[in-house]
A and B are shown apart, each in its own frame.
Chain A
Amino acid sequence: MKPLQDLARQLLEAGDVKVVIGYQDGRRGVQPAFITDPAQAERLIFDHRCVHNLATYVSPRRGHVKRLGRAAVMLKGCDARAVAGLLRESQISRDDVVLIGVRCGGVHDTPDVSGPLTAETVAPRCHGCTVREPSLPDHLVGELPPAPPVGRDLDADVARLMAMPAAERLAFWTRELDKCVRCYACRQVCPLCVCERCIVDKTQPRWIEPSAHARGNLAWHLTRAQHLAGRCSGCSECERACPEGIPVHLFNHFLAGVVRDAFDHVVSDDPEVPAPVGAFRKDDAEEFIV
């Protein structure tokens, strides 16, 4: 913890940044911390409970954070992919942020779990992780902990769904989406939902019905997932944020596979690699165009 806290203190004292966005202990588990006073840097921690993807706080939509001034943000390897997305799409420039990478041994699915990381508690995004030591950040802190236990495999979840007859799959999603109350937590928590005005909030004309009925809910969730195809960094914060426990990230994970197969593209933490939606190649697959 000390190297992390020392680094945060130095960055604040030197005036390099006005705020360090990290993690702190709360009454009910770990929560995001916004440290502006060097004397408070000792509040910063990093452990298995630090599941939040803090990249979302450097998105240009975050007016309150932006008004504090230049920010440093703590990133796990998976979170760095989201920052790379913001850079790739010119939502932020590299000079806007100082990136503090943390070596990671996996995180719990929720930030209020105490005790060791187990196959039952480990977040699905940790499955097969190859970025436990992020490469994008300016600073890298901590020792590399042991690899996390093998937990829920999203590939297997998607394969199980795709193996179902279409009617059964529709029944699965009907049951799940029936719970949706349209709180838009999935959108708000997403580091790559960067639109200043979301299509679902447009009223003239109204493209997507705002009502929480079957038609409106299906239209919303498919549109959300489509807009993130080839862009989603795979953090599954959308799913953690859902108050109704809808496995919304399965849509994103499925589409990541589609984009991989169709465009040979996997979202990485290299901002120089363009996303398929933002690049034109003469040899792009076109079989999806009807």
Chain B
Amino acid sequence: MSTPLSIKHIDSAQLEGLVAALVGAGTTVIAPARRGDARDTVGYRAVRTMAEVVLDQRPDNALKAFFLPPTDPLLHYERKGKDVTLTEVDPQIAPRVVLGALPCDVAGLPIVDRVMNWDYRDEPWFGRRDATTVIALACDKADDACFCSGVGLAPDSPQGADLLLIPTPAGFAVEVHSDKGVAFVAQHAAFFADARDATEVQAFRQRIAGLLPHAEGLDPDAARTWIEAHFMDPHWAQLALACHGCGACTMVCPTCHCFDIVDEQEGVTKGTRRRNQDYCQYGLFTLHGAGHNPRGDQGARIRQRVSHKFAIYPDRFGAILCTGCGRCSRSCAAGIDMFEVVERIAGLQATLDEEAPTGGEL
């Protein structure tokens, strides 16, 4: 766990004032709030006041939609006679603030940064990343789908956060974790007070310690070892029996980041090129123009998702492509539980390790 650069305090009333000041200055504030829909769901959306913000419920939708939208226009095209005019969409956006996000959602952002800055720098992604100050809220809302502590994170992980709020009886302790966070606090200094007694924060940390007993023993390294040696294992087809082959798990995932690019006509001579989230769970995702599909069945597609998260991405980018948020498990209509999947695979490896001869001559 990284040490904060500094620690401040903010009262609930001051936080309300901060949101009002930000919104008043034209900054978009994105926070968990009721979405006003038929099912009264809570999700990340732009808010106008602190009163709209819901901090005691887990948002249903993915924060990543504000960085990699489900659909995102890249350019407009128009044909006039033999000429085609292209108008690119400017990836620079106005400064904005994410407030009260779950640490597991926030932790996904720097993980995805690695691939977005790999063979080229993805402008739409970093345009939004650079424009956004991320204020996470340490989490006490763990349920049995969560396993952040099993993948090296924690309910109070600051990974990806510029500021981390930790609830205290009088408001929030504010841990500053980045230069952007330092600048934000300096710019809005009137709302922040000096850090209070550290025992308040310790009380919260004690309360959240051990909220995820099932996740503590998870061994993602063992899972990786097994995955790397079992590409053709029948386990994958077995796992796929219940899977409906929808992409709900990928859509809600804070780290799934794949996309498709489509041109959509608007009338005869005009149209828009869009980037849409698109994922490995769909048959169409890898379907070749000639008709061959290298991932021809759901077993191959599940293998891809699990392998990418726990073996391929760690190998290529040095990070597990999973924050243990449990959204995939909660959203799965077939009851497939990602924690269980990883635990079982790690267990298969543990069995192999036990059976392998140790020491002596082979």
Which A positions have Cβ atoms within 8 angstroms of B? 26-32, 34, 52, 56-57, 63-65, 67-68, 111, 172, 175-176, 179, 181-185, 187-189, 201, 206, 209-213, 216, 237, 240-247
Contacts and interface: CB of A to CB of B under 8 A. Distances in A.
A64 B276 contact: no
Interface stretch (B96-104, B178-186, B236-244): B236-244
B35 A185 contact: no
Given A64-B240, A181-B277, A211 B333 contact: no
Interface in B27-64: 35-39, 41, 43, 60-61
A17 B329 CA distance: 30
Contact of A32 (B43, B246, B334): B334
Given A31-B336, A243-B248, 19 more contacts: A27-B339, A31-B335, A32-B335, A57-B242, A64-B297, A182-B70, A182-B276, A183-B246, A185-B248, A187-B246, A206-B264, A211-B262, A211-B264, A212-B277, A241-B246, A241-B248, A243-B251, A243-B252, A245-B37
B284 A245 contact: no
B331 interface: yes
Given A181-B251, A211-B276, A28 B337 contact: yes
B38 A247 contact: yes
28 contacts: A31-B242, A32-B242, A32-B334, A52-B333, A56-B244, A57-B242, A63-B298, A65-B241, A172-B38, A175-B36, A176-B37, A181-B65, A182-B70, A182-B276, A183-B246, A183-B247, A185-B331, A185-B333, A201-B283, A210-B276, A211-B70, A211-B264, A212-B70, A216-B71, A216-B264, A241-B246, A244-B61, A245-B38
A237 B334 CA distance: 10
A211 B334 contact: no
B145 interface: yes
B216 interface: no
Contacts of B331: 185, 243
Nearest to B40: A245
Given A32-B334, A56-B244, A189-B246, A247 B39 contact: yes
Interface in B143-175: 144-145
A201 B298 CA distance: 17
Given A26-B340, A247-B39, A181 B246 contact: no
B347 to A, nearest CB: 14
Given A243-B331, A244-B61, A64 B145 contact: no
Contacts of A32: 241-242, 334-335
B143 to A, nearest CB: 9
Nearest to B299: A64
A183 B37 contact: no
Contacts of B252: 243
Contacts of B299: 64
B70 A181 contact: yes
Most buried by B among A27, A30, A111, A246: A27
Contacts of B244: 56, 185, 188-189, 241
Most buried by A among B276, B277, B297, B335: B335
A210 B337 CA distance: 28
B274 interface: yes
A184 B247 contact: yes
Given A34-B242, A64-B241, A176-B37, A26 B247 contact: no
A176 B248 contact: no
